[in-house]
């Protein structure tokens, strides 16, 4: 059977970034903001929010593991389904299920809670398939400065979209939380229109002609990759607990998501700084700074309800900003060293995405363990969550440090994925 010659010309960056922005609006509302919707729409407490976060992480692993085989299966160009076609199918499925909670609320209120769980169970693995393919369109057909510039803009766009989502959710959160999901479902469906500027197959990856880099770069990449997984442990525990913390502080509902966006905003700002200022390259202090900021920020978030309302809210905002800075350093460091050392191919499969899913899963597990150890004592719960999350993160850090001893010259881990 005749095969289609590989596409070399890069996909128009404006089209890729437009699709990325719209897709990240949904990621922001569901993956990062589901707990606010569940808390306001269903009255969920910390236990139910953590359970939903656990399901979200576990189902994400399934989609991530499937993405690689799917892309490889379609890459022989002997199948009717192309990667662009798969993107369209995934977007239609994601967009459609986003309407389920609103429809259930209006037509079958008894099914409302079930509809939100169905949304999570479908949305999460579908995004595990979606983003690796989108990333292949970002990198394909680009090399050197064009590739670095495209990835830098890609990072800022997807991270900035999450900030927009959290501010946009605020007016609807208290009285119309499920309308938020329906609006974002419409955005996912509109993304199918943007696909008209995408080639049927991702452009062929162009190997980079790398200049020699310091030998420590491969070792730094190994450490940063492990810390990246640790950062998702922090995020996946923080996200479902933020509405509970803000409730304890007496934060008005319409201010909950804007305040929660503090860590998202600081992450975008640090992305800008690290892209422009290169003095951090090759410095071993950076991964430890990122690790320290993440742990200090998370612990401060959990302890903020122990202070008076006004002071505690201020502490929460500062703590979220600190957390966002640490997460940004960890992410950007992993991405930079992957690009600097150079992979033979930007892997859009699913192994690393599945590792991200492990981080998404371990965070809620630590939170649920904290619930079991503390019962109904909120102060004890926050104490145990801080201890358990810190232990999990430090455990991953020790694992990364041990990997450094096994990193051989020329051995390069795969490129990390942002979602």
Encode pLDDT of 257-310 as tens digits: 999 999 999 999 999 898 888 899 899 999 999 999 999 999 999 999 999 878
Query: Measured between alpha carbons, how far is 359 from 415 in angstroms, rounded to an integer?
Result: 17
Encode pLDDT of 366-388 as tens digits: 999 999 998 888 889 999 999 99
Encode pLDDT of 323-347 as tens digits: 999 999 998 888 888 777 765 343 4
Best CA proximity match to 153, nearest among 31, 24, 249: 24
User: Angle 177-194/100-107 helices, nearest 10 degrees?
Assistant: 140
More confident residue, 362 or 417: 362
Ramachandran bin of 199, using left for φ above 0, alpha for ψ from -120 to 50, beta for the remaining angles: beta
Q: CA separation (Å) from 1 to 69, 78, 80?
A: 21, 7, 12
Best CA proximity match to 414, nearest among 134, 224, 131, 275: 224
Query: Measured between alpha carbons, how far is 95 from 191 in angstroms, rounded to an integer?
Result: 9
Q: What mean pLDDT, rounded, does the chain reach?
A: 85
Confidence of residue 23 (pLDDT cuts 50, 70, 90): very high
Q: Is residue 172 scored above 90 in pLDDT?
A: yes
Q: Is residue 78 scored above 80 in pLDDT?
A: no
| The predicted structure's pLDDT at residue 71 | 65
Encode pLDDT of 95-122 as tens digits: 999 999 999 999 999 999 999 999 999 9
Query: Measured between alpha carbons, how far is 67 from 341 in angstroms, rounded to an integer?
Result: 25
Query: Measured between alpha carbons, how far is 192 from 203 in angstroms, rounded to an integer?
Result: 19
Ramachandran bin of 43, using left for φ above 0, alpha for ψ from -120 to 50, beta for the remaining angles: left
206-215, 248-257, 275-284, range with the lowest pLDDT: 206-215
| The predicted structure's pLDDT at residue 75 | 57
Q: Is residue 418 scored above 60 in pLDDT?
A: no
Query: Measured between alpha carbons, how far is 129 from 93 in angstroms, rounded to an integer?
Result: 12
């Amino acid at each position: 059977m005749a095969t289609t010659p590989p596409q070399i010309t890069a996909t128009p960056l404006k089209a890729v970034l437009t699709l990325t922005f719209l897709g990240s609006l949904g990621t922001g509302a569901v993956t990062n903001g589901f707990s606010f919707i569940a808390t306001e729409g269903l009255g969920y407490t910390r236990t139910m929010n953590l359970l939903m976060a656990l399901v979200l992480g576990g189902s994400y692993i399934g989609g991530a593991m499937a993405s690689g085989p799917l892309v490889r299966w379609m890459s022989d160009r002997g199948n009717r389904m192309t990667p662009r076609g798969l993107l369209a199918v995934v977007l239609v499925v994601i967009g459609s299920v986003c309407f389920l909670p609103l429809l259930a609320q209006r037509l079958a209120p008894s099914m409302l809670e079930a509809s939100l769980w169905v949304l999570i169970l479908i949305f999460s693995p579908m995004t595990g398939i979606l983003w690796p393919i989108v990333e292949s369109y970002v990198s394909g057909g680009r090399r050197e400065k064009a590739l670095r510039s495209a990835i830098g803009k890609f990072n800022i766009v997807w991270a900035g979209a999450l900030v927009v989502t959290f501010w946009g959710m605020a007016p609807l959160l208290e009285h119309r939380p499920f309308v938020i999901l329906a609006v974002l479902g419409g955005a996912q469906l509109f993304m199918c229109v943007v696909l008209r500027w995408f080639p049927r197959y991702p452009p062929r990856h162009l190997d980079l002609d790398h200049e020699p880099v310091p030998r420590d770069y491969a070792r730094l990449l190994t450490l940063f990759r492990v810390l990246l997984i640790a950062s998702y442990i922090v995020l996946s525990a923080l996200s479902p607990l933020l509405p509970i913390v803000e409730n304890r502080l007496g934060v008005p509902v319409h201010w909950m998501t804007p305040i929660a966006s503090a860590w998202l905003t600081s992450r975008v700002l640090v992305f800008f700084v690290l892209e422009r200022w290169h003095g951090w390259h090759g410095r071993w202090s950076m991964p430890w700074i990122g690790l320290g900021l993440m742990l200090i920020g998370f612990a401060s978030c959990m302890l903020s309800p122990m202070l008076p309302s006004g002071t505690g809210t201020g502490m929460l905002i500062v703590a979220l900003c600190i957390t966002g800075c640490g997460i940004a350093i960890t992410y950007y460091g992993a991405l930079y060293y992957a690009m600097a050392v150079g992979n033979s191919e930007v892997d859009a499969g699913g192994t690393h995405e599945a590792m991200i899913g492990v981080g998404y899963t371990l965070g809620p597990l630590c939170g649920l363990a904290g619930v079991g150890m503390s019962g109904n004592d909120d102060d004890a719960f926050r104490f145990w969550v801080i201890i358990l999350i810190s232990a999990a993160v430090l455990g991953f850090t020790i694992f990364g440090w041990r990997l450094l001893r096994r990193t051989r010259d020329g051995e390069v881990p795969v490129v990390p994925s942002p979602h």
